[in-house]
Structure 1
Amino acid sequence: MEKICETTIRFVRFSPASIADIDLIIEYAREGVAGIAGADGVKDPVLIEYFDERVVGDQLIDLVQARLDVLLESLESAAQRGDADAASQLTDLCRTGVRSHRLLLSLSSAAEQILRTAYRLGLVDALRDAASPANAHDGQVASRQHHRAAFELALNLLAHLASDPERGAGARSALLDLAGFVETAGEAVIRLPMHLLDDGERQRLLTIHEARVALFTSDPVRIPLGLELLRDNRVVRSAVWQAFDARHIG
């Protein structure tokens, strides 16, 4: 099935054949799929629908990409002119795009394009919301569980913004927000520029560490935390020491 789908898609996309010839090839391939779907031990008519979805979907990729480009270019242009509504729309797209713009987010590169647009505009709330566990059920474009590469990109882009000594306070605050969640603490903390944290940010980091200690030690009956949580605990604990030691390094 997959071989038929992939071969048909490649032919349709790259062949210089006429429309009539392409239609003929698609119909020929569909007959092959129908043969598989009706075979003894299979009897699955959904396979024919799946073939149609794959082939038609591939033909729509260029159109969907064009729609995404137009949307992001218009939002970025408006936001650069100071349009707060455009910036808010982009933040909403980061937070709920998989649900609100399902067709656009079907593109494999959509999440990266959206995140990089938010990064160019310095929209730290958008990058944070795209990855925050607080929005895990809202259709965020950089879910840690479902879109791992986009999640790491969102955090890396926040780290780049946070490293700006003059304009990075918002990004540092966003990383600390993410550090407040058990599941994202370690990945957020390692992206903090310790030498740039002020007293308030250091105190937030200490409070996060203390909350983790209380969470994992408050119950006398303990279960093994697992490798990931143990590693995150060590990272957060080490970050607290580094942050406070950094005050004394010129």
Structure 2
Amino acid sequence: MRLRGKVALVTGGSAGIGAAVVERLAAAGAQVVVHGRDAERSAAVAERVGGAVVLGDLAVPGVAAEVAEAAIAVHGRVDVLVANAGAGWSGPFTKLNGDELERLVMLDLLAPLHLVRCLLPPMIERRSGHIALVGSVAGRTAVAGEAVYAATKAALDIFAESLRLELRDTGVGVSLIVPGVVDTAFFTARGRPYERKRPRPVSAATVAQALVDGIANDRAEVWVPGWLRVAPAVRALAPGLYRRLSARFGEQAPGR
């Protein structure tokens, strides 16, 4: 896809990976609609790239459709969706209350699905568009203390694969971005900072560049860093060994 002149909606675009994606898309010539919850931070990012702002809490039922509608209203269409907004929660599953569980599932899984549901039909009609879903290595390998987050990312993973098959020959591409540990506020916000020395966090800019390259080149999967592909391969080929290693080293395994 040639990104120059395309209209891109980036959810969670006010900080972290999302803000970096906004900058990369704008540098490639796209017109960017920045979604966020914080009006001031979202406006600051949009101002840097000459973009527009759409506000909304995607963890609230019904808001994803409102965000999609508002984004379309800016330029009359959305050519690229980057579903990046998400959150984690760290701790024993039994300590997670029902309201927080529903909020995580809404934000990390249902909101992206609703956004795709709203934005995909016009893309198919135009025979042009791209859906980029931000997953996590946690969705391929499982993480102790992050069962719900890992489950939502695993579901997003298989959704991307299924949707890609469904959209063959429509002109609409689907990419799944699979980052490991990224140097953002995500880990602090989930309730437990990342404290391991290895693997080292990668920058949000590195993930953003890989994501935008994936859109431009219609890549089905984008792993950042690439060596992370080893973990799910070991899980598939030697599950017993994988589980022993996970039990030993997986207490604070990569999330996002």
Question: Please, what TM-score do these two structures have when normalized by structure 1?
Answer: 0.32
Task: Specify which structure has the higher proportion of strand.
Answer: 2
Superposition TM-score, scaled by structure 2 size: 0.32
Q: Which has the higher helix share?
A: 1
* Structure of greater relative contact order (alpha carbons < 8 Å, 6+ residues apart): 2
